[in-house]
Structure 1
Amino acid sequence: MSSDTTAFGINFYSGNKKALLGCIREGVKQPYSFVVTPNVDHLVQLQHDDALRDAYARARWRLCDSRVLLALLDRLGVEIEEAIPGSDLTLDLLQWASEDRLRVVLIGCSTAETQKLKELYPGIDLYHHNPPMGFINNPEEVQRCLQFIRDTPSELVLFAVGTPRGEILAAAIQPHERSGMAFSIGASIAFATGTIKRAPLWMRECKLEWLHRMCLEPRRLAKRYFQDALYIVPAYWREKNSRHKASLAKQQS
């Protein structure tokens, strides 16, 4: 990718979702790789989480997950065709997996959600492992997760354990250990099964899905979104000034 796809220290995937899905169809036949989905909250976490930064560096693609972030990237002159929300991509992957009877490893989610997923997508050959709360700080539980993934061949691996846990697990699997592609999908299974309702289409198109989610889960999300806002405004101006200075230096050289 050219340098005009890079901002906030991230080299973003620049294509559209249709092209991406075509690449994924081929990618699942190849040695293991994984995808991350940066949004504003991830940018905040990347500032202080070395393991997350390492995972981002190893990822095959970094998809712009947020229409809000896409608007900022556009203002910076970063050439990305469209935002690809992880929730939308997950639905496409589940539909494809059901139609083509693919194998899917799912890490995280409750038994009830998994059962609902099987009912909605009966063609999927689903293998489920749900680690206990706080597992990421327990080396034995982490290894149990990783061994389950290594021992269970599948085209897709879906990490529904939140950030940075999903990304850390995804990066711990090596390409020689298995084939297929992995995705850190956050709460996408809850959206897919209807456990959590997504924002209406008009809110998504108006970049207001964050507001809908905050109204549904105010205790969990209000503080996060406030911290995101405190970070992204000065970060945007730093990025803009840095790019302006780099452009001037290039013109003078």
Structure 2
Amino acid sequence: MSSDTTAFGIDFYSGNKKAFLNCVREGVKQPFSFVVTPNVDHLLQMETDGQLRDAYAKARWRLCDSRILLSLLDRLGVHLPEAIPGSDLTLELLKWADQERLRIVLIGGLETEAAKLRTIYPGLTLYHYNPPMGFIKKPDEVQRCLEFVRQHPSELVLYAVGTPRGEILAAATQPHERTGMGFSIGASISFATGTIKRAPKWMRECKLEWLHRMCMEPKRLAKRYFADAVYIVPAYLRERSLRQKPTPTKQES
């Protein structure tokens, strides 16, 4: 891992969104690989979730999803050109798939949302499967998801089942089983279809999208964001301390 792009144990993708989308255009033709989108909540989950850490290690690219995390990385000396929020990236992928008449497998999301996607993007072919709640703890249900992905060739696989479920599913699909690229996209389908309204542009630019989302879904997100806030300050200080320690040198005999 390159030291100038690594922090919190993650080697971050160092290009901008335009360059990354060019990588995707080639990547979808190759053996299956997947992308993860680290943010503060992912860092917190990785502290205790070995499966998520394993998925991160297997991912082809790790895109900084959060403008808040981007600022912290910059303070640590990891200078990335921009954050690439998953919601923005998902819209770019959907537009591209629509224009190029590509195929997408969508795991998760409501059937009504899948129907809206087909209406908004008539050029793409969408294969949709929504597993039941708690599926990740049921091996048979996990296998149903994996089989659906294997049996439906596509350029893109979008996992709309939340973290770490999407990352675990993506890591369980082997490169020899199919081609294409996978993305764990969280609630991005709900944003893309208008089911959930995104924060205004000025709030996103001011790093306040989290506040808008919390106001929209307080019961689900308030506790999560509080835990993230409690975690990130000491985590940042630990990371800064580690990076400031002098590199041990071999003592002369």
CA RMSD after TM alignment: 1.1
Question: What aligned pairs does 1:86-101 form with structure 2 within 5 A after superposition?
Answer: 86-101=86-101
Partner of 2:102: 102
Deviations 1:79-137 (A, max 9, x none): 21110000000000000000000000000011101101111111011000110111111
Q: What stretches of structure 2 of length at least 5 have no aligned partner?
A: none
Partner of 1:249: 247
Partner of 2:217: 217
2:247 match: secondary structure: helix
Partner of 2:151: 151
Partner of 1:201: 201
Deviations 1:196-230 (A, max 9, x none): 00000000000000000000001110000000001
Deviations 1:123-162 (A, max 9, x none): 0110001101111111101001000101110000000000
1:77 match: secondary structure: coil
Taking the aligned partners of 2:236 and 2:50, their CA distance within structure 1 comes to: 21
Deviations 1:37-56 (A, max 9, x none): 00000000000000000000
Superposition TM-score, scaled by structure 2 size: 0.97
Partner of 2:47: 47
Question: What aligned pairs does 1:15-164 form with structure 2 within 5 A after superposition?
Answer: 15-164=15-164
Partner of 2:10: 10
Superposition TM-score, scaled by structure 1 size: 0.97
Taking the aligned partners of 2:237 and 2:135, their CA distance within structure 1 comes to: 37
Change (3 A) 1:45 1:30: same
Partner of 1:226: 226
1:249 match: secondary structure: coil
Taking the aligned partners of 1:3 and 1:200, their CA distance within structure 2 comes to: 35
Change (3 A) 1:205 1:252: farther
Taking the aligned partners of 1:108 and 1:19, their CA distance within structure 2 comes to: 28
The Cα shift of 1:251 comes to 8.2
Q: What stretches of structure 1 of length at least 5 have no aligned partner?
A: none
Identity %: 75
The Cα shift of 1:250 comes to 6.0
Taking the aligned partners of 2:116 and 2:28, their CA distance within structure 1 comes to: 25
